[in-house]
Homo-oligomer: A and B are copies of this chain.
Amino acid sequence: MTGGGRRGRRPGAPDTRAAILAVARERFAAAGFAAVSVRSVAAEAGVDPALVHHYFGSKRDLFLAALEMPVDPREVLAPVIAAGPEGAGERILATILGVWDDDELRLPLLALARGLTDPSGHLLQDGFLPVVIGPVLAELGVDQTERRLPLVISQIIGVLVLRYLARLEPLASMPAEEVVAAVGPTLQRYLTGPLP
């Protein structure tokens, strides 16, 4: 991405910037925006607090950087869409759980999810949900998207909150396949079943 190393190193640091970002992701994911201080991030990363401001501007900028989607939801959900509406409930859930169960992706996703209730909240509400899940339903060729969308999301959010945020057992330790088998039919009904 540097376009060839001829001109020497870019303004970014060797790896301090990455270290800060990694810690920020973990802390924001664990405690939310307000409860995490720039200083605590710097301390845990073993760097000076001023460096945090140096690389990322304000605390909010750091948060946004930590929040950057590690995956493109449209991309991973593309195969689901391509396969059509039959069995889409199971496939959507299996895909999402697969992403969340990835050790490298879970932390940024947790940070994102905390935004649902945090004061810094509107990212999920105004951005992620309608922008990502909405188009998926539309491309699936499902009718009455506006009525089905909140139902689908409600069940997905519920599973994510309990499995990854609250870590409620036995859901937290359950194999993804089992969750898919139990919850998938619900999503399928919301997607293609009759609406009241």
Contacts and interface: CB of A to CB of B under 8 A. Distances in A.
A170 B185 contact: no
Interface string A151-187: 1011111110111011111110010001001110110
Interface string A22-46: 0000000001101100000000000
Contact of A189 (B168, B169, B185): B185
A129 B6 CA distance: 59
A4 to B, nearest CB: 44
Interface stretch (A13-21, A76-84, A95-103, A114-122): A114-122
A122 to B, nearest CB: 9
A153 B147 contact: no
A196 interface: yes
A153 B169 CA distance: 11
B195 A165 contact: no
Give chain A's interface secondary structure class. helix
A162 to B, nearest CB: 5
Given A154-B158, A158-B155, A168 B129 contact: yes
Nearest to A129: B168
A150 B170 contact: yes
